[in-house]
Structure 1
Amino acid sequence: MFAGANAGDVYGSPNLAGVMRLPRSPLVPAALLVSAGLALAACGGSKSSNGDTAAVRARVAAYTCPGTATATGAAGTAPLDGARLRIVTTVAPITSIIANIAGDRADVVGAIPEGQDSHTYEPKPSVARIMTTADLVFVNGLKLEDPTRQIAVKNIPEGGRVIDLGNLALPEDLYLYDFSFPKEGGKPNPHVWTNPPMAACYAQVAAAAMSAADPANAAYFGANATAYVARLAELDALMKAATETVPAAARKLLTYHDAYAYFAANYGWEVIGAIQVSSFEDPTPKEIASLIKQIRATGVPAIFGSEVFPSTVLEQIGKETNVKYVDQLRDDDLPGAPGDADHSFLGLMKFDFVTMVASLGGDATALAAFDPADITPDRAEYPQ
């Protein structure tokens, strides 16, 4: 029988095998999440723990996947019982990336339902059960989905591995701390996957880990990763070209959630603020007034809400400033439904960037023609 997580390996973060199971608390109703605390800042002149923010952003823009990421991802093997490789993932974008590499040679199951806030989601008992049969568990890490991660570490069988993709793909000197994720809080911005070159590193780390766990299919996983990274490079090039059509003064993002920091650094955009889902109280009149003033000062033509978590606050601010309010962005909820061509990480990034570019005065025609279909049929299970 399985020996439990104390025998499992954790890659990308300190070993947390000794943690206890977390007590469950009721899930937060989506309607309550619109009552968010306000996080405001002008990013351009701020400092981070890694030096001047502009310097860190420049390093992010020049990002390449560290060789140590794939080397660490490949370390060790999972002792299979002769069955197919069993993989558990967390948020839907990561599930999609992993499914493209796994193809038809592994079973992939997501643990966090689409439409749930990954920062606050408390896993159901069924999540612990699926961890007990996992050979590999891929999490974002960077303290994004800690409750789910801790359950994975506690329940994964002997020889299984928990792999923190974000920690492996992102060197510490590229950590971005900002108004929503201040350095003193000890948590860098974890939304690494919204930057396609970094998502490509996730794919490479995953392929290395799968190949180590199932050497017989290593060539298959490697070929899928190569093809998928090429698709991400194509998408990245189209996104950079689309950026050039957006007036420079309009390349600013005010969003419902601070999920686009690495994305913005790569494409030369600026995140000027976010309605951060961090409390259950409405922003104060003073906070709203401050944000309205900031929008008027920057001249941003549109602000962005979420299709999953609509914000009455952002809607109010849009009316007050006569700025277009676009409530369609997603960061960990894929477009469409499982089985649809655009229900993919590629579809997610295409959808968001077409929405941003078109709303801010640019031309997204070429990007809109990009085919977001997976390189292999997506057989993953996405909890809804």
Structure 2
Amino acid sequence: MNAPAKHPRFSWRLCLALLLLIPLIALAGPAPEAGKKLRVGVTLHPYYSFVANIVGDRAEVVPLIPAGANPHNYQPQPDDITRAMNIDVLVVNGIGHDEWAFQIVKAAGRTESLPLIYANASVALIPISADQDGAKVVNPHTFVSTTAAIQQVFEIARRLGELDPPNAAAYRQNALAYAARIRALRAEFMTRFASLDLTKFRCATTHAGYDYLMQEFGLFVSTIIEPRHGVAPTARQLANTIEAIKKANVRVLFAEKNFSLGLAKPIEDATGVKVFTLSHITGDTYSADEFEVAMRENLETLAEAVEYTQQ
């Protein structure tokens, strides 16, 4: 007579646990081959900096589009499709700043096979109505910020660890070290802002790209000039903007570095506001330190603008 089976509950629980793990493994995506570095694609300059600091020399960072391209109105090129065919994962903004990336992925035949890391998955997004048709959208410029940048760094590191388990611990440690530097940068300027009277600050911007940066220091934008990035306002919109600036007693106008100075000049001449420039971190080169360098410049500019309003 056969002896009764032992620990039947354990067997059922083990089977159930294995069944539950199957979809999680499938969602994680393919791990890199043994001895081969993960090839991590990125859509924007800040994400190059984020990923480069997270992975160090344990993975390769591959920009999806050329360094000098303007991501606001980018048109996919054949070389982009080739790059999309040869990466293991792609880090995307996914909330309006890199819609062209999904066209590239589709053209490369990777819609089902390429894992995507949505950098903003854990970021509290700011809603705006910046579309000419009045459609409600969210502000995609989360990377022009320190707080939201840190949240994205941790999200990217977590997802990369899932895709590349042998290096997960290193990615976490690198992310913590990088986030600490960004926090130190923010703290440096928090101290500087603490001595200023922020109640006197009123500003306009040429583009809705600085809300995340402003809110970190308790600042707000009074009016936005461009209804859509890269689209000059009509004569009526420009006249209304000038009038709004005058009524709101705005003394500062932030223009986008390398793009919006031509638009800002007529406003400056008509209203007497002082123009300052901020970077969207879309430079000519991809580098690990680009985000920190650009954000230090932005914070310095923001502090100078606030100090100007104290006069």
Question: If the length of structure 1 is used for normalisation, what is the TM-score?
Answer: 0.66
3-state SS of 1:211 partner: helix
1:278 aligns with 2:278: no
3-state SS of 2:173 partner: helix
Distance change >3 Å, CA 359–CA 280, structure 1 → 2: closer
Distance in 2 between residues matched to 1:279 and 1:189, nearest whole Å: 12
2:169 counterpart (219, 223, 231): 219
3-state SS of 1:276 partner: coil
1:162 aligns with 2:111: no
Aligned residue for 1:332? Answer: 281
| Bigger radius of gyration among the two | 2
Distance in 2 between residues matched to 1:191 and 1:116, nearest whole Å: 17
1:353 counterpart (299, 302, 309): 299
Query: Is the Cα–Cα contact under 8 Å of residues 247 and 362 in structure 1 kept in the other structure?
Result: no
Deviation at 1:338, TM superposition (A): 5.2
Query: Is the Cα–Cα contact under 8 Å of residues 144 and 281 in structure 2 kept in the other structure?
Result: no
Letter in 2 for 1:286: R
Deviation at 1:281, TM superposition (A): 6.2
Letter in 1 for 2:61: V
Superposed CA offset, 1:325-384 (max 9, x none): 23x3211324x8556x9x511111111111121133169xxxxxxxxxxxxxxxxxxxxx
Distance in 2 between residues matched to 1:215 and 1:280, nearest whole Å: 42
Aligned residue for 2:92? Answer: 139
1:89 aligns with 2:39: no
Distance change >3 Å, CA 158–CA 285, structure 1 → 2: closer
Larger deviation: 91-100 or 272-281? 272-281
2:103 counterpart (150, 155, 159): 150
1:243 aligns with 2:193: yes
Deviation at 1:100, TM superposition (A): 0.7
Superposed CA offset, 1:265-318 (max 9, x none): 232111122232737764333322222222223333321222221332311111
Letter in 2 for 1:233: R
Aligned residue for 2:63? Answer: 110
3-state SS of 1:331 partner: coil
Report 1 or 2 for greater relative contact order, CA contacts < 8 Å, sequence distance ≥ 6: 1
Distance in 2 between residues matched to 1:329 and 1:281, nearest whole Å: 18
1:232 aligns with 2:182: yes
Letter in 2 for 1:361: E
Distance change >3 Å, CA 115–CA 136, structure 1 → 2: same
Distance in 1 between residues matched to 2:117 and 2:170, nearest whole Å: 20
Which consecutive residues of structure 1, in runs of 5 or more, have no partner in the other structure? 1-71, 364-384
Letter in 2 for 1:227: A
Superposed CA offset, 1:70-123 (max 9, x none): xx9x96142323311101101101111111101111110112344544232112
3-state SS of 1:353 partner: helix
Distance change >3 Å, CA 246–CA 111, structure 1 → 2: farther
Distance in 2 between residues matched to 1:316 and 1:127, nearest whole Å: 38
Distance in 1 between residues matched to 2:140 and 2:230, nearest whole Å: 22
1:78 counterpart (30, 38, 51): 30
Distance in 2 between residues matched to 1:240 and 1:152, nearest whole Å: 41
3-state SS of 2:222 partner: strand
Letter in 1 for 2:49: S
Superposed CA offset, 1:183-238 (max 9, x none): 95253111112221211111111111221222222221111011011112212222
2:51 counterpart (74, 78, 98): 98
Letter in 2 for 1:162: L
Letter in 1 for 2:175: A
CA RMSD after TM alignment: 2.9
Question: If the length of structure 2 is used for normalisation, what is the TM-score?
Answer: 0.80
Which consecutive residues of structure 2, in runs of 5 or more, have no partner in the other structure? 1-23
Aligned residue for 1:380? Answer: none
1:122 counterpart (66, 70, 75): 75
Distance change >3 Å, CA 279–CA 256, structure 1 → 2: closer
Query: Is the Cα–Cα contact under 8 Å of residues 131 and 228 in structure 2 kept in the other structure?
Result: no
Deviation at 1:176, TM superposition (A): 2.2
Larger deviation: 241-250 or 343-352? 241-250
Distance in 1 between residues matched to 2:42 and 2:286, nearest whole Å: 16
Superposed CA offset, 1:32-66 (max 9, x none): xxxxxxxxxxxxxxxxxxxxxxxxxxxxxxxxxxx
Letter in 1 for 2:279: R
Distance change >3 Å, CA 124–CA 270, structure 1 → 2: same
Deviation at 1:319, TM superposition (A): 1.4
3-state SS of 1:309 partner: coil
Aligned length: 283
Distance change >3 Å, CA 235–CA 280, structure 1 → 2: closer
Distance in 1 between residues matched to 2:171 and 2:127, nearest whole Å: 34
